[in-house]
Amino acid sequence: MSELFDAVDALVASRSPLPPPAERRRLRQAHGLTLDEVAAALHVRRATVSGWEAGKTEPRPPERDAYARMLKQLAQLYSPGAPEPSEDTAVPETRVCAAPAPSVAEPAKTRTGPTAPTAEPASGTTALRPVAVPPPVATTWPTSRRQGARKAAPAGGADPGFENGPLAVVDVADGQVFAYCVGGLVLDVPAKSLPALVDWTLREGHLGQPKLSGPGKDADPLLVLTQSALERYGLPTTLTEEERLAGRIPEDHKVIRQLVRAEWKLTKRGFGPWARIYRPATGSERACVQLCIPSWNALDSRHWGEAGQLPPAELARVLGVYASRVMTPLGSTAVTGLELMTALHPPTRASEPDADGRRHSEHNPGSLGREPVDCAPCEAPDGHPLLADLPRFRVRGPGEKLFEEAYDWARPMTDAECTLRHLVGIDVNMAFAAGANGLVVGLGAPTHVKAPVFDAKLPGSWLVDLSHVDLSRVKVAKDKWADLDPSLLPCPFTPKGERPEGPAWYATPTVAYAVELGYDVTPIEAYVRYENGRYLDAWYSRLRDAFLATMADLGVHADMEPADFLAAMDGYRGRDPELAIVVSAVKATVKGGLGKLRERPRGEGWRPGEPWRALSRPTWRPDIRAAVISRTRINLHRKIVKHAAFTGQYPVAILSDCVVYAAGGTSPLDFLPYRDGKPLPGGFKLGINPGLVKHEGTQSVLWGEEVRERFNAPELNLARYIKDGQVTDKDSGE
């Protein structure tokens, strides 16, 4: 009989009406559920649940029955009119702290959850008592915190040892120390000294982040110290000029002596803006805490904006979103970008058990390994030990040096372009990330080959003459050629857009493009890498997802109609300035991480011909950087050629990933050839996805001509100033 009742219940549930989409979202948020949690419970994708709440789609059996059951139960708990928290977040519940944090902004009206279970205080700590601490106004928390998390893993299978998130901002208010964690959690910190703070973090802080790949390691906890925390623990609130140049405080500082007495160690970079405090690992157990000190310029304003001046709760939110979507910061955005590559492709893994059942460390396929490899001589930057025998002031030409860089090109406007009223700039989203996607790069050392046959699938550096490639007639599709005006186009093979005069070194994507345009190539020699793979794919995917998720939080979604996209991008940073900081940091992580692949000497008494510290890293790979930049530049040129062949319009200026066209209107839609809402195949397309373009800025043609006349520079790169129109004497080179 019970089986019959169950069947009847299921039948009724399959036909029972569901609440309207807006009510579905309200009920979910009222109970503090994220889209990910609901999706995991119903065994569907996050986007599916989002579609149900947006009214774009309707659930179908069997998920519909379970979804209806959940909504019915929630409706019994939360009547209409209950306060609604920020979109896509869980409602902050009771937080464990000694007192409400005075530095938190004016609280929003949110529901307070049940009181946390009382526990015996750990030895040497103060008793914790539950106090409701609502988040600041307009705060979207990246994760939820539920009571009892210390005894069971949170939803999604996260390690219970990291239940308080990846990081905490440590601040002092009214004589008490608080740790602001992600999700609005605030903890009372009993530590009286920095060594005690490190101990507390590892024993009781429950901070950290699970590893990003199977053979990898969990991320160490990150503590961000505010100025009041620095004072509390005996550290300077700012660095002297000497300390700033050295990048650290003196080794005889009293706090460092405290750490030494407590048997803690510092890495070679010492105690600076990003300090790592550790004890040697015993087995698989790690004892390491990372410090971030904003007032010592740990959070560079070029990449993190005003993050360093945010109150503790807001700073925890910004860094927490970045950590959850990218990884826990380990230093500058450049350092983190490079470390993300290694975290996704660790150099080693555990082997299969041997005859005695023991596992050993072995090379992890697809990684760069544990040992650095030498670059090819043509890939070596000036001053590299491989070039020690060259005369000191020798200037290597294109036949000796690989020079793959982004575009910096401009030309005078034509008479026809001067009759138009506006200059419109478009910018490629995450251009270098898009250039890395699907790119085959070398994993091992180069092999020198004489008179090779070019292979577009083989990464490497090729010495080849491309001066015969004529842009007046190029192949734009299979068996389809186009006649163009080469005087209005940059050459695709050089950063300055100049036509090469003879043999030069190029990365594989550049040479492959010459073949794509319909021309034969005959390399003279090459350094190729037979061990290769798509090393950057996971790196690209992680950063792309972080970028798109954060832009979606700011109201800019993928697959929007062109006009809707342009409207959504207008003023998106003002909708949530904190999340806008995360967007900037993600983009800086891409460029900085790629730049680190060819890091140059940074002082330390280096002299040309001597090795520098970065050369000891397996991730010092100038060939990979060159390949990404080459592909990014070629991708841009390909779109420019398709656009010119179809519309007859040519760019006026290009700077890296920004292209400027003369147009009759102020919008990209005034010159991009959309038909029935569809873009030109292979050309520019408006959208937020990496590789698509957004509106960078619009100025008048008169502005452009006036600027060039003022500085007597008919080829001044207007793409550099198209965003705001501000040009200074310093910028122009005067």
pLDDT of residue 728: 75
- Residues of the chain with pLDDT > 70, as a percent, come to 86
State how beta strands 129-131 and 95-97 pair. antiparallel
Label residues 311-347 b or e (16+ Cβ within 10 Å = b): bbbbbbbbbbbbbbbbbbbbbbbbbbbbbbbbbbbbb
| C-alpha distances in Å from residue 718, one per residue of 409, 662, 725 | 9, 11, 9
Flag whether 498 is in a domain. Answer: no
Asked whether residue 106 is domain-assigned, the answer is yes
Q: How far apart are CA 565 and CA 687, in angstroms?
A: 6
Selection from 136, 93, 98, 96 nearest residue 112 by Cα: 93
Beta-strand pair 473-477/441-442: unpaired
Beta bridge partners, 274, equal: 292
Torsion over CA: 50, 51, 55, 59 (sign): negative
Q: How far is CA 283 from CA 263, 277, 280, 286, 287, in A?
A: 18, 18, 10, 8, 11
115-129, 437-451, 473-487, 583-597: range with lowest mean pLDDT: 115-129
- Same structural domain for residues 109 and 65? no
Mean per-residue pLDDT for 57-76? Answer: 84
Look at the chain and report how many structural domains it folds into.
2
Look at residue 283 and give its three-state secondary structure. Answer: coil
Helix pair 63-77, 21-30: axis angle to 10 deg: 60
Q: Which amino acid, 635?
A: N
- Residue 266 belongs to some domain of the structure: yes
Q: How far is CA 400 from the centre of its chain?
A: 34
> What whole-number distance in Å separates Cα of residue 292 and Cα of residue 275?
7
Residue the block writes with tokens 């972080």: 546
Whose structure tokens read 């937080």? Answer: 95
**Residue 7, in any domain of the structure:** yes
Identify the pLDDT of residue 119.
35
Which two tokens mark 682? 């292979």
Q: Is residue 455 part of a domain?
A: no
Shared-domain flag, residues 73 and 100: no
Q: Which two tokens stand for residue 357?
A: 């059942």
More confident residue, 81 or 250: 250
Strand partners for 695: 426
DSSP 484: -
* Structure-model confidence comparison of residues 213 and 4, the more confident one: 213
Query: Is 605 buried (19+), middle (13-18) or exposed (0-12) by CB count in 10 A?
Result: exposed
Average pLDDT of span 272-294: 90
Q: Has residue 179 been placed in a domain?
A: yes
Structural domain boundaries enclosing 69: 2-77
**Mean local confidence (pLDDT), 272-287:** 86
Residue type, 82: A
Decide which of 326, 342, 367 is a domain's last residue. 326
For residues 187 and 256, membership in a common domain is answered with yes
Length of the chain: 734
Same structural domain, 194 and 309: yes
Confidence (pLDDT) at 303: 96
Q: Which pLDDT tens digit goes with each residue over 603-650?
A: 778 999 999 999 999 999 999 999 999 999 999 999 999 999 999 999
Helices within 648-717 (DSSP H only): 701-710
**526 CB burial (10 A radius; 0-12, 13-18, 19+):** buried
For the chain, percent of residues with pLDDT exceeding 90: 69
Q: Residues 233, 171: one domain?
A: yes
Q: Is residue 561 part of a domain?
A: no
Task: Kindly state whether residue 571 falls inside one of the protein's structural domains.
Answer: no
Is residue 178 a contact partner of residue 170, using CB atoms and an 8 Å limit?
yes
Q: How many CA atoms lie less than 13 Å away from 197 in the CB half-sphere? A: 30
Read off the pTM: 0.79
- Bridge pairing between strands 473-477 and 480-483: antiparallel
**Domain match, 143 and 21 both:** no
* Residue finishing a domain among 282, 311, 326: 326
- Does one domain contain both 209 and 248? yes
Averaged pLDDT of the chain: 86
Q: Do 100 and 47 fall into the same domain?
A: no
Same domain, 149 and 273: yes
Same domain, 105 and 179: yes
Integer Cα distance of 550 and 22 in angstroms: 22
More confident residue, 268 or 327: 327
Same domain assignment for residues 70 and 125: no
With b meaning 16 or more CB within 10 Å and e meaning fewer, what string describes 566-579?
Answer: bebbeebeeebbbb
Specify whether 50 is located in the same domain as 169: no
Q: Give me the pLDDT at residue 13, please.
A: 55
The dihedrals phi and psi of 457, each to the nearest 5 degrees, come to: -90, 0
Instruction: Report the C-alpha gap between 677 and 672 in whole angstroms.
Output: 11
CB atoms within 10 A of CB 710: 13
H/E element, 552: helix 537-553
pLDDT classification of 131: cutoffs 50, 70, 90: very low
Distance CA(32)–CA(34), nearest Å, equals 7
Give residue for tokens 């530049």. Answer: 633
| 478 pLDDT tier (thresholds 50, 70, 90) | confident
* Cα 633 from Cα 405, distance rounded (Å): 8
Q: How far apart are CA 409 and CA 657, in angstroms?
A: 11
Residues 207-243: b if buried by 16+ CB within 10 A, e if exposed:
bbbebbeeebebbbbbbbbbbbbbebbebbeebeeeb
Interatomic CA distance for residues 86 and 310, integer angstroms:
20
Of the chain, the end-to-end C-alpha distance in Å amounts to: 91
Write the CATH number for 6.
1.10.260
Q: Which of 276, 306, 326 is where one domain is finished?
A: 326
* pLDDT at position 17: 77
More confident residue, 452 or 73: 452
